Amino acid sequence: MKTKITVSIILIIGLASVSYGMIRDNNIIFSAGIILVTAGYIFIRKKLKDSISKINGPEG
Protein backbone atom coordinates (compact mmCIF):
# COMPACT_ATOMS: atom_id res chain seq x y z
CA MET A 1 0.00 0.00 0.00
CA LYS A 2 2.85 2.36 0.86
CA THR A 3 4.46 1.75 -2.53
CA LYS A 4 1.24 2.62 -4.36
CA ILE A 5 1.00 5.93 -2.55
CA THR A 6 4.66 6.74 -3.20
CA VAL A 7 4.42 5.94 -6.91
CA SER A 8 1.18 7.93 -7.19
CA ILE A 9 2.81 10.96 -5.59
CA ILE A 10 5.85 10.68 -7.88
CA LEU A 11 3.61 10.51 -10.94
CA ILE A 12 1.39 13.41 -9.85
CA ILE A 13 4.39 15.63 -9.11
CA GLY A 14 5.96 14.58 -12.41
CA LEU A 15 2.84 15.36 -14.41
CA ALA A 16 2.43 18.71 -12.67
CA SER A 17 6.07 19.53 -13.38
CA VAL A 18 5.77 18.63 -17.05
CA SER A 19 2.62 20.74 -17.37
CA TYR A 20 4.15 23.70 -15.56
CA GLY A 21 7.34 23.44 -17.60
CA MET A 22 5.37 23.45 -20.85
CA ILE A 23 3.11 26.33 -19.87
CA ARG A 24 5.84 28.57 -18.41
CA ASP A 25 8.51 27.49 -20.92
CA ASN A 26 10.79 26.29 -18.12
CA ASN A 27 13.05 23.56 -19.50
CA ILE A 28 14.56 22.53 -16.16
CA ILE A 29 11.19 21.90 -14.51
CA PHE A 30 9.96 20.12 -17.64
CA SER A 31 13.00 17.83 -17.68
CA ALA A 32 12.64 17.05 -13.98
CA GLY A 33 9.00 16.16 -14.59
CA ILE A 34 9.94 13.81 -17.42
CA ILE A 35 12.45 12.09 -15.14
CA LEU A 36 9.83 11.68 -12.39
CA VAL A 37 7.22 10.29 -14.77
CA THR A 38 9.77 7.86 -16.19
CA ALA A 39 10.75 6.74 -12.68
CA GLY A 40 7.09 6.16 -11.80
CA TYR A 41 6.61 4.16 -14.99
CA ILE A 42 9.64 1.99 -14.17
CA PHE A 43 8.28 1.29 -10.68
CA ILE A 44 4.89 0.27 -12.08
CA ARG A 45 6.48 -1.86 -14.80
CA LYS A 46 8.67 -3.69 -12.27
CA LYS A 47 5.66 -4.44 -10.05
CA LEU A 48 3.68 -5.75 -13.02
CA LYS A 49 6.55 -7.99 -14.13
CA ASP A 50 6.89 -9.37 -10.58
CA SER A 51 3.18 -10.10 -10.29
CA ILE A 52 3.08 -11.78 -13.71
CA SER A 53 6.05 -13.97 -12.86
CA LYS A 54 4.32 -15.03 -9.62
CA ILE A 55 1.24 -16.05 -11.57
CA ASN A 56 3.12 -17.93 -14.29
CA GLY A 57 5.68 -19.49 -11.98
CA PRO A 58 9.46 -19.62 -12.41
CA GLU A 59 9.26 -21.30 -15.85
CA GLY A 60 7.15 -18.65 -17.58
Q: Is residue 49 part of a domain?
A: yes
Helices 2-23 & 27-56 angle (0-180, nearest 10) = 150
Q: Is residue 48 part of a domain?
A: yes
Q: Is residue 14 part of a domain?
A: yes
**Residue 59 pLDDT greater than 80, yes or no:** no
CA atoms of 16 and 43, how far apart (whole Å)? 18
Q: Is residue 9 part of a domain?
A: yes
pLDDT tens digits for range 8-48? 999 999 999 999 999 999 999 999 999 999 999 999 999 99
Q: Is residue 60 part of a domain?
A: no
Domain that holds residue 16: 2-53
Q: Is residue 58 part of a domain?
A: no
How many domains are contained in the chain?
1
